[in-house]
Structures are given as structure tokens and as C-alpha cells.
A and B are shown apart, each in its own frame.
Chain A
Amino acid sequence: MLQQLKTTYTQDISLFANRNAVISYAVLILALLLVPAVLGEFYVGELGGVFIFAIAGVGLMLLTGYTGLVNLGQAAFLGIGAYTNAVLMTKGVPFIFTLPLAGLVSALFGVLLAIPTMRMTGFYLAIATLAFGSIIGTVFQKWTSVTGGFDGFAVPTPSIFGFPIEGTNGVYYLSLLVLIFVIWLAINILRSPVGRAMVAIRDSEISAQSMGINLSLYKTISFATSSGITGLAGALFAHYVRFLAPDSFDILLSIQFVTIIFVGGLGSLHGAIFGAMFVRLLPQFIAIVRDDLPFGIGRMPGLEPSLFGLVLVLVILFEPLGMHGRWLKIKAWLKDFPLHRRSGIRRQKTYARSERLR
């Protein structure tokens, strides 16, 4: 396979792998900027949703994909971000402040969750985060003086320096901007000592500790950044749905986030984006083909969640590297054509490890 010849150490820590990468990402961003001019409002709206879920996916990817900590309550952080943003805006705080505040408040709650779950891994952590998610969900329902309970409330239109961010296009561009910022942040984290400490904790806690990594500190940092990023997604989500009601942030949403990172591919940022595309676009695809399916399958209740579950199981069984892994394989196959051999590709990753010396 053709490999790029590196001549400086800087090349290993630069934002883009090479000039081709710079060009292709520039083209991609340009294309995304032009989307609202070309496609109809429906598609722009759907893509905006993909961006918001991709932001949350990147957040969860840092925690689960890179630090190896499961979180089944991620929807709670999206909710905290959404309510912080929307409630502060109804109190008259400008959007330019409420957006970062939404991230900060979510990050604080991430720290709150990290403290009691510090020594938990695997199933225990999964159950604890699940409980956290449902507690926060209940708070959204019962704290009617702030959240409006089940009645919900309409989210005000945001504006930045007097320019209102209106309609589908506004949310689309705003989400794209935040997504680019979040990806930049995640790349920085991953090429810094913090990111390496996360990977170390994921792969071996005991030797991470012997390398001088403070486990509690870095797990807390991981929780905080993950939930903070998800909080940003939540703030955008509030404007995306325009009307906040507590039942948006239930366990099913958390499962969707987990699906994003597993189907997309654990341990890669591309995976978070691919996964978000899958999770947001599958329901739309179902909606389009619903009436054409035989035997009335399309009208069966619970078709969507069961399809998500099925895909999740199939991916874990047959493609542990997820869509990103499949993409790498396709790329390798095209590169080596017609001389491809199967063994040229790295094998499965296993993050679920048995308990060992700790």
C-alpha cells in the first residue's frame, strides 16, 4: 500500500494528514455550505439533525470509544443542555452566552455523575448511568416551574449580535459551525496527553496508573468533556425541535446515541459522524418505503426501535469496527485492486475485557 513519507515529527500531530486531506475536507465543507441553496427544506432539516446528533456522537465517542466508559444516560445531558439554553433564553440571556453555558452546565453534571461512578466499569457503570438518565428525565417532567412539565414550552428564536438565526437554514448553519468546532476540539484532545491518557485508561487501568495517570482525574475530565459537548448538541437540539417537552429525552434517545457510536465504529471520530447519519436517516428511509413494504410490515408498531436493535446486534457480531471499519476496508480494497488479500486489514477490536488485576 502506498504510504506517505514523513519527514518531520510535526506531520504526525498536524490537524490534517496531508494536502489531499485539506483539499477534500475543504470541498466537503463547501458542499455542505451550498446544500440549502440546492436541496429543499426537508433535506436541509434532516441534515441539520444529523449534525446535532453527530455532535452528541463525538461527545459520547470520547467517553465510550476512547475512555472505555459506557454511558446509557447520554440523553440526560442533551436534555440538560437543551433546557439550560432554552430556559435562560426565555429569561432574556442572549444566545451567545446561553450556548456555552449549556455546555458548561452539562459538563458540571458530567462531573457530578463521574464522582460516584468513578470505580465502576462494565455492567455496573451501565446501570448507574441508566439510573442517572431516568432521574434527570423525571426531573424534567416534575420541575414544572422551570421546564413547564409535560406541557413544554416554545423555544425563543436565537440571535447572534442582532442577527436572528431563523428557520431551518439558520439552525443548519449554526449546527454545522458547532460540529466543526467540536471535531476540532476532539482532534486536539486526541493528539494531546489528555487523549492518550483516556486511551490508556480504556486499555489497561493498572498500567495507566503506573504511568502516572490519575485515574479519577482523567475519568472525570472525560465525563465532563463528553457531557459538555453533548450539552452543546442539546442547546442546538432545542432550536431544532423549537418546542421542548420532557419526553424527548428518554432512554430510547440514549440507546440511539449508543447505536451511533457502535454502528459508526468505536474508537474513531469518523465513526461518530457515520453513525449519526445512520441513526437520523434510517427512520426517514423507513418513512419513505413504509407503504411499499409487503405484508403491512411498514405499519407494524415498534418497527423503528426493533430495526435499530437488530442493526446494533448485527454490527457487533459481524463488523465490530462499524461503518468506519467497513469504509477503511473498502478503501483498502480499491487501493490494492486487483491484488487485495483479506489479511491486510487489522482485526477486530475488543473493548469488553474480563476483569483482571486492579
Chain B
Amino acid sequence: MSLFAARDIAIQFGGIKAVDAVTFDVKQGEVFSIIGPNGAGKTTIFNLISRIYNLTSGELIFNGKNVTKVPPHEIAALGIARTFQNIELFSQATLLQNLLIGRHCHVKTNLLSQFAFLPPARDAELAHREKVEDVISFLDLQRYRNTLIANLPYGVRKVVELGRALCIEPKLLLLDEPSSGLNVEETEAMAFWIDDIKKDLGITVIMVEHDMKLVSAVSDRVMALNYGRVIALGSPGEVQTHPEVVRAYIGGEA
């Protein structure tokens, strides 16, 4: 059964069709990768799913519900979490605060009880902290717990962003280039984590990625895009050898 489906989605910026009639299904529990040359529309698809952009046409279905018109701040509560290509952490806050912000969509205490920090607010804080600590141990971030994000190395920030998305306790996780800017070792660690997220936490993952080694290692299915259109969809092996994909990356006779 498919957890997420995009039906004929399209977005147009002026005369440019950044995403054009793209249709795909993501099954419960799979890792679905989107590849393509620069400017193919991969991140735009993520921005459409997280509702930062409005679709020009098409439909987004998540968990059997049409989410095409849901406001962007309600996407997290539905169970869709994302990371950003260029890291969008809260850089003047500590790692712990960043992960706690990831719990925001689970906040139930009312404003008054927060302002006075009444027992319900205190208990809720402690419960959120427990959840956050689980994520911290899962990603081995203990020693950075109280460090400002601005003082953390790039590789660690990338992991923190993954952790923040996990704090949402999502059903669907959107990873925008999880390995960009990471060294070989860090990329391998990222591959293990994505595998753990899929197998241990049972979270479905959609990933935009350029590193084909990482894509082949973790993905169940791959979709290749070029100029906003789907050119191939299938297993990593099939897509990599697909003639259209080879032409898009390397070029060839028209």
C-alpha cells in the first residue's frame, strides 16, 4: 500500500516548468530516491511536498488524505519531516534546543500553562526531553548536547538536522542531499543511519541525492528526473543503466 502519492504534480515559475506532470508512489517502509542533474527539479518536489510552494496543478496524497492544500506548518503534525540541502538549523540555539523544536508539533500544553510554567507544562517538557534523548542516543550526539549549532562542524550539523527531523516522529522523512559536504566516512555513517531509520524505526524515506554509491546502497527504488520530467523509475540498477539517464548525465546524440 502506498504511503505517499504524487499525482501529475506541476509547478511553473513564470515560463519555466520546474516540475512537469510528475507522478510517483512511495510504498510504506521503502527508501525512495530522486536523482537528476542540477536544476532537474528535485528540491522543488520537496518544497512542493512540504507545501512551501503551491502546486500549479496536480495532487499530493499522504496516508490516504489529500494534502494539496494543507498549510505548511501543519505538514509536520501529519507526519512528514524534512531536512534541507544547505542545513537550516537554528544556529544560535543549542543542539538540545534544536531537537526540542522538532517536538513542537507534539506540544499540547496551552499558552497560559506555558507562561506560568505550571506542572502540566513541566511534565510535558520532561516527556519531550525523554524523546529527544532517545534520538540523541540513536545518532550518538551526546557530547554535543549543549553546544551551539554555530560552533559545530558541518558533518555533525548534518546529523543534527536528521535528528531534528526524527524528533517529529514522522511517518515519512524527506532527506534533501543527506551526504552533500560530507567526507567518505561520514557518508558511510549516513548510509547506516538511513538503513536504521528504515529498518528499526520503520520510517519511509524519500531522498534526493547525488552520491550514486549512497543511492545504490540504501534505496529500494530510484526515480530519475531531467528538466522537471520523470525519465526513469525502477530499481537502482535499472535506473543507472537506463539510456535516458545516461544521456541526461553524460550527454549523447540527440
Contacts and interface: CB of A to CB of B under 8 A. Distances in A.
Interface of B is mostly: helix
B52 to A, nearest CB: 7
Interface stretch (B98-106, B177-185, B208-216, B244-252): B98-106
B interface, how many residues as a size bin? 35 or more
Contacts of B168: 211-212
Given A189-B115, A204-B88, A208-B90, 8 more contacts: A188-B116, A193-B100, A193-B107, A193-B109, A202-B90, A209-B52, A211-B168, A212-B74
16 contacts: A193-B100, A196-B100, A199-B90, A200-B101, A203-B90, A203-B92, A204-B88, A204-B90, A210-B52, A210-B72, A213-B104, A214-B71, A267-B92, A346-B151, A349-B92, A357-B52
B81 to A, nearest CB: 8
Interface string A41-84: 00000000000000000000000000000000000000000000
Interface stretch (A5-13, A30-38, A147-155): A5-13
Nearest to A214: B73
Contacts of B164: 211
Interface in A11-31: 12-13
B154 interface: no
A96 interface: no
Given A207-B90, A210-B72, A196 B104 contact: yes
A221 interface: yes
Interface of B: 50, 52, 71-77, 81-82, 84, 88-93, 96-97, 100-105, 107, 109, 111, 114-117, 121-122, 125-126, 129-130, 133, 148, 150-151, 164, 168
A241 interface: no
A174 interface: no
A135 B129 CA distance: 45
Interface residues of A, number: 35
Contacts of B73: 209, 212-215
A211 B150 contact: no
Interface in A173-198: 185, 188-189, 191-194, 196-197
Contacts of A297: none
Nearest to B128: A193
A12 B146 CA distance: 10
A347 B90 contact: no
B102 A199 contact: no
Contact of A210 (B75, B96, B130): B75
A328 interface: no
B114 A192 contact: yes
A13 B125 contact: yes
A81 B101 CA distance: 33
A208 B100 CA distance: 12
Q: Which 10 residue pairs spanning A and B have beta carbons closest together?
A: A212-B105, A212-B76, A192-B114, A207-B88, A203-B90, A188-B117, A193-B107, A204-B88, A214-B73, A9-B129
